[in-house]
Amino acid sequence: MSAPKVSFEFFPPQTLEASFRLWDTVQTLAPLDPRFVSVTYGAGGTTRDLTREAVATLHKSSGLNVAAHLTCVNATRDETLAIADGFAEAGVSEIVALRGDPPKGSGAFQQHPGGFANSVELIEALAAKGKFTIRVGAYPDKHPEAANAQADIDWLKAKLDAGADEALTQFFFEAETFLRFRDACAKAGIDKKIVPGILPIENWKGASRFARNCGTVIPQWLEDAFETAIRDNRQDLLATAVCTELCSDLIDEGVDSLHFYTMNRPELTRDVCHALGVTPKVSLQNVA
Ligand code: FAD
């Protein structure tokens, strides 16, 4: 098994303490030489300024290749594209382009007056600028709003045909889920790279709630295993084993890149990466 290439997702910190935690996370994971690290954009555009700051700071001080998430929610087209241009001016030309979700509790996505109607329109507009590498979301367990699995794949193809370069998937818990999805994408004529999104399970309660919200299927065996591990206080051990096995099953099936949802907690991601043969390569620039 050859070691995969990895990338890491972070969220922008909202407090000083959270900033320290993000920096610790970056310092721990940077030596694993990620293809890129990405910074999320809060639901409803709520962390717009924090995302901008975190992206610019990471780009300047970490020496890593940084990608900024961007959504269409709650902004006009001009405002959204101005944010993208701002990323480019800060030296960040990689974007994870998403339709996004409105803030929690405010119902389904609504097009902002003067805003993009959907992710395809956003991707077309970003691609027309000719200066961005564009990644998009994909849903092996099907997005909750998709009419059916095939409609979801057709929509992914439309996003890639609109000018996106690569897809990053929502997390899933069984390798089969991704492999079936990859086959269906190939059958639909998708030939761009689809990178599995991996969620190391730091906390089962939080991970299972997150899964239910985004339509990720929770297998019964996993639920049972965590119930036992929590009772025996062995959650960490199980989480490392489950995540490493998922990743190595994917690698055995030809997957060469993995995208980790770190939740700004580096240890489990680092341990899984080490187990997969991804070991330290570079040191951070400009560390005080
Ligand atoms: P789309 O793929 O455009 O739409 C979602 C699904 O709805 C599609 O798969 C399709 O089945 C259906 N659909 C939508 N419009 C149409 C249409 N016109 N015709 C047919 N079908 C349609 N959210 C954030 O708020 N901030 C983030 O930073 C963030 N980062 C993410 C990163 C990744 C890798 C992933 C996978 C998701 C992320 N999300 C983020 C969550 C994402 O915003 C939600 O899943 C949102 O509901 C869908 O966004 P999308 O761009 O994937 O949507």
Confidence of residue 17 (pLDDT cuts 50, 70, 90): very high
CA 110 to ligand 1 center in whole angstroms: 13
Confidence (pLDDT) at 288: 42
Q: Judge if pTM exceeds 0.75.
A: yes
The pLDDT tens digits for 60-110 are: 999 999 999 999 999 999 999 999 999 999 999 999 999 998 877 677 889
Owning domain of residue 40: 5-283
Q: How many residues does the chain have?
A: 288
Confidence (pLDDT) at 284: 56
Share of the chain above pLDDT 70, in %: 97
Q: Is residue 254 part of a domain?
A: yes
Residue nearest to atom 53 of ligand 1 (CA): 99
* CATH value at residue 74: 3.20.20.220
Q: Is 9 marked active-site? A: yes
Q: Is residue 60 part of a domain?
A: yes
Q: Is residue 215 part of a domain?
A: yes
The yes-or-no verdict on residue 43 having pLDDT over 60 is yes
Confidence of residue 287 (pLDDT cuts 50, 70, 90): very low
Residue nearest to atom 38 of ligand 1 (CA): 137
What is the token pair recorded at 12?
């922008």
Residue 39 per-residue DSSP state = E
CA 99 to ligand 1 center in whole angstroms: 5
Q: How many domains does the chain have?
A: 1
Q: How far apart are CA 115 and CA 74, in angstroms?
A: 8
Confidence of residue 282 (pLDDT cuts 50, 70, 90): low
- Beta-carbon contacts of 205 under 8 Å, excluding residues fewer than 6 positions away, are none
Q: Is residue 288 part of a domain?
A: no
Alpha helix positions (H), the chain: 16-29, 48-62, 77-89, 119-129, 149-161, 175-187, 204-214, 220-231, 235-252, 266-275
Q: Is residue 154 part of a domain?
A: yes
Q: Is residue 166 part of a domain?
A: yes
Averaged pLDDT for residues 8-12: 97
The pLDDT tens digits for 156-192 are: 999 999 999 999 999 999 999 999 999 999 999 999 9
